[in-house]
Amino acid sequence: MKALVVEDDFTSRLLLQKFLSPFGECHIAVDGNEAVDAFLLSRENKEPYDLICMDIMMPGLDGHGALKRIREIEETNDPTGPRVRIIMTTALGDKENVFSAFREQCDGYLPKPIYKEKLYAQLESFGLGVLKA
């Protein structure tokens, strides 16, 4: 599995990277603009991400904006192809943010603090929960 953690908080980035690294390659982006750039680069290099864990509240392009942009790119470039799985990982647990994220086509929503067991259960539901050898 190849994953991208999009998080402006150092401690949260470190924790998610630690949780995801046993499954494969794990990259980091600090805001939504960097996430979109990393997503595009991975597609250009024919090594797309399987998973993106993305915070909502970030400087510059926030998680909602980055999610919309990534889905637009997928729809424009390959509407029938596989989509990256995107889990919103955020302290925002209010109904409006949750509903908005799913309307924007996220695949999962994990409120902070992130618990390893809940993250792993989400990965398993996507068929991504296979540890690398």
Q: Could you tell me which of 120, 19, 15, 108 has the C-alpha nearest to residue 67? A: 108
pLDDT, residue 93, reads: 67
Name the residue ranges covered by the structural domains of the chain: 2-126
Question: What pTM was estimated for this model as a whole?
Answer: 0.93
Whose tokens are 């400087």? That residue is 59
pLDDT block averages, 10 residues each, the chain of length 133: 96 96 96 98 96 95 96 91 92 77 90 93 90 61
Let me know if domain 2-126 sits in CATH 1.20.1600.10.
no
Q: Could you tell me which of 35, 1, 25, 28 has the C-alpha nearest to residue 12? A: 28
Asked whether 56 and 90 are in contact (CB, 8 A), the reply is yes
Asked whether 114 and 15 are in contact (CB, 8 A), the reply is yes
For the chain, helix, strand, coil in percent to 5 are 45, 20, 35
pLDDT, residue 129, reads: 75
